[in-house]
């Protein structure tokens, strides 16, 4: 039966399958190399338009089946079976299209395996299904000319409305789970639960009302009341997480540590990064040794991927993508030892980028390294900061150190 119903809306489903891929091509879907939920977070923007298309498809399908030869009231099949079966192809297409875009994006970023956080992705499925069911019922009740744009608008408003973006929607849950630090954060369980309860409650209300209208039974009124209560519970969930961050710091005891073989330096990473710990130790030691050869004053005792409290001179926090190379680690260390760029005066940003690139190259990174190109935002190797840094590297060590000390002092003065 789903094949028969599916054939009807093949065009819509094709759009749902291809739409996220289109977003991918437009760079609206991006996956930087991150760990855990951060990957899903980066893809959350593309959920927004996908949900709108799912809503339009379901409203269209509901309107189409409303004209069927057998009334829903007199059909033997329950409204739940009809709604479930006819919304399934749209939801599956939307989720499959989005998942394909996600995996392509993650694969392109060399994340293995190229899967988003399934725990959070399930939130997308629940919300997509609730949107589809409600849209189908509206489509069944109203003329298609009205229901399709109405549901597109309703979903749009639902997604941009502060109540939803701020507290309920998994979209905000994910978006606020910033990519750089997601490895050091835990998602608050209430923030995960809220969209689930909200989505299931919304579906429950819709189906209970449908049963009430089409198949009144002794307990129909009670069913609607229970469904409304569950829905209200879903709406109340955000109150529980109001004024709280939707993420919280991870327990530091989970860190996995390893000592450098050539010094007392300690490297610590989260369990998900365990496979990259050896690379961090190897490339970190090599970078810091190269800096020491030049006489640079950076010799932290602890290098960790946990977020550090400010003011700790002996410990630095680094962030890097999976399977890091020399360039990734050198850039990560340079970022950790230089002042925060967003605190610098605008006129110092050029110096900051040049110094960063020079530090990475001095630490042994290759000029053609992708990490350096990405960081500097350069389209080609001949761009400004890289050329300046390479020219400095060609100078005597003493000259380089003198230049560095001047630039570094200037940065420290200009970046609070």
Q: Least distance to other proteins from the beta carbon of 101, Å?
A: 28
Q: What are φ and ψ of residue 315, in 5° steps?
A: -125, 135
Strand order in the sheet with 302-304: 256-259, 266-269, 302-304, 315-317
Q: Least distance to other proteins from the beta carbon of 211, Å?
A: 13
Which is nearer to other proteins, 73 or 119 (by Cβ)?
Answer: 73
Which is nearer to other proteins, 1 or 275 (by Cβ)?
Answer: 1
Cα–Cα distance measured from residue 195 to residue 189, given in angstroms and rounded to the nearest whole number: 11
Which is nearer to other proteins, 87 or 351 (by Cβ)?
Answer: 87
Cα–Cα distance measured from residue 318 to residue 330, given in angstroms and rounded to the nearest whole number: 10
What contacts 240, CB < 8 A, 6 or more positions away? 190, 194
What contacts 17, CB < 8 A, 6 or more positions away? 93, 96, 97, 100
Taking CB under 8 A as the criterion, the residue among 111, 130, 199, 216 binding other proteins is 216
Which is nearer to other proteins, 3 or 242 (by Cβ)?
Answer: 3
Which is nearer to other proteins, 220 or 390 (by Cβ)?
Answer: 220
> Is position 145 an interface residue for other proteins (rule: CB under 8 A)?
no
Cα–Cα distance measured from residue 264 to residue 306, given in angstroms and rounded to the nearest whole number: 19
Which is nearer to other proteins, 216 or 295 (by Cβ)?
Answer: 216
> Is position 8 an interface residue for other proteins (rule: CB under 8 A)?
yes
Q: Least distance to other proteins from the beta carbon of 95, Å?
A: 24
Which is nearer to other proteins, 156 or 212 (by Cβ)?
Answer: 212
Q: Which of 348, 327, 324 is nearest to 338 (CA)?
A: 348
Q: Least distance to other proteins from the beta carbon of 203, Å?
A: 21
Q: Least distance to other proteins from the beta carbon of 210, Å?
A: 14
Which region, judged by CB under 8 A, interacts with other proteins, from 5-13, 18-26, 90-98, 234-242? 5-13
Cα–Cα distance measured from residue 249 to residue 353, given in angstroms and rounded to the nearest whole number: 29
Length of the chain: 416
Q: Least distance to other proteins from the beta carbon of 217, Å?
A: 8
Would you give the binding string for other proteins spanning residues 78-117, x where CB under 8 A is met? ----x-----------------------------------
Q: Tell me, by CB under 8 A, how many residues bind other proteins.
A: 20
Binders of other proteins among 25-84, rule CB under 8 A? 64-65, 67-71, 73-77, 82
Q: Least distance to other proteins from the beta carbon of 228, Å?
A: 22
Residue with the two structure tokens 């009124």:
221
> Is position 4 an interface residue for other proteins (rule: CB under 8 A)?
yes
Which is nearer to other proteins, 76 or 242 (by Cβ)?
Answer: 76
> Is position 221 an interface residue for other proteins (rule: CB under 8 A)?
no
Binders of other proteins among 153-172, rule CB under 8 A? none
Q: Which of 300, 211, 243, 250 is nearest to 36 (CA)?
A: 250
Q: Where are the alpha helices (DSSP H) in 109-165?
A: 118-141, 144-160, 162-163
Report how far apart, in Å, the C-alpha atoms of 208 and of each of 80, 127, 139, 203, 213 are.
9, 18, 17, 8, 9
Q: Least distance to other proteins from the beta carbon of 159, Å?
A: 29
Q: Least distance to other proteins from the beta carbon of 30, Å?
A: 37
> Is position 7 an interface residue for other proteins (rule: CB under 8 A)?
yes
Which is nearer to other proteins, 67 or 162 (by Cβ)?
Answer: 67
Cα–Cα distance measured from residue 96 to residue 86, given in angstroms and rounded to the nearest whole number: 16
Buried b (16+ CB within 10 A) or exposed e, 31-60: bebbbbbbbbbbbbebbbbbbbbbbbbbbb
Q: Which two tokens stand for residue 214?
A: 């089409």
Residues of the shown chain interacting with other proteins in the complex, contacts defined by CB under 8 A: 1, 4-5, 7-8, 64-65, 67-71, 73-77, 82, 216-217
């Amino acid at each position: 039966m789903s094949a028969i119903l599916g054939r009807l809306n093949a065009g819509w489903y094709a759009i749902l399958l291809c739409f996220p891929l289109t977003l991918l091509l437009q760079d609206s879907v991006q996956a930087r190399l991150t760990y855990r939920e951060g990957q899903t977070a980066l893809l959350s923007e593309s959920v927004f338009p996908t949900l709108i298309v799912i809503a339009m498809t379901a409203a269209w399908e509901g309107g189409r089946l409303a004209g069927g030869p057998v009334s829903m009231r007199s059909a033997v099949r329950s409204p739940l079976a009809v709604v479930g079966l006819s919304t399934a192809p749209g939801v599956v297409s939307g989720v499959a299209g989005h998942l394909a875009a996600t995996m392509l994006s993650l694969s392109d970023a060399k994340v293995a395996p190229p899967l988003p956080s399934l725990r959070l992705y399930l939130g997308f499925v629940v919300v997509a299904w609730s949107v589809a069911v409600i849209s189908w019922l509206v489509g069944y009740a109203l003329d298609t000319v009205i229901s399709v744009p109405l549901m597109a608008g309703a979903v749009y408003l639902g997604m941009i409305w502060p109540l939803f973006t701020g507290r309920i929607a998994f979209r905000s849950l994910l978006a606020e789970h910033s990519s750089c630090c997601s490895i050091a954060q835990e998602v608050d369980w209430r923030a995960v639960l809220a969209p689930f309860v909200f989505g299931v409650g919304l579906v429950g209300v819709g189906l209970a009302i449908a049963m009430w209208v089409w198949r009144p039974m002794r307990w129909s009124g009670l069913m609607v009341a229970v469904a409304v209560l569950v829905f209200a519970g879903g709406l109340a969930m955000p109150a529980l997480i109001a004024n709280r961050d939707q993420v919280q710091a991870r327990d530091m005891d989970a860190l996995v540590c390893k000592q450098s073989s050539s010094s007392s330096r300690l490297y610590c990473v989260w369990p998900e990064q365990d496979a990259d710990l050896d690379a961090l130790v190897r490339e970190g030691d090599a970078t810091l040794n190269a800096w020491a050869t030049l006489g640079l004053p950076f010799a932290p005792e602890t290098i960790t991927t946990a977020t550090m409290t400010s003011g700790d001179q002996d410990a630095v926090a680094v962030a890097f993508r999976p399977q890091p190379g020399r360039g990734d680690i050198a850039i990560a260390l340079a970022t950790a030892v230089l002042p925060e760029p967003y605190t610098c005066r605008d006129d110092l940003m050029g110096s900051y980028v040049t110094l960063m690139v020079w530090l990475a190259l001095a630490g042994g990174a290759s000029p053609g390294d992708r990490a350096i190109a990405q960081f500097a935002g350069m389209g080609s190797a001949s761009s400004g900061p890289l050329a300046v840094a390479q020219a400095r590297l060609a100078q005597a060590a003493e000259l380089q150190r003198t230049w560095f000390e001047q630039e570094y002092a200037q940065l420290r003065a200009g970046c609070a």
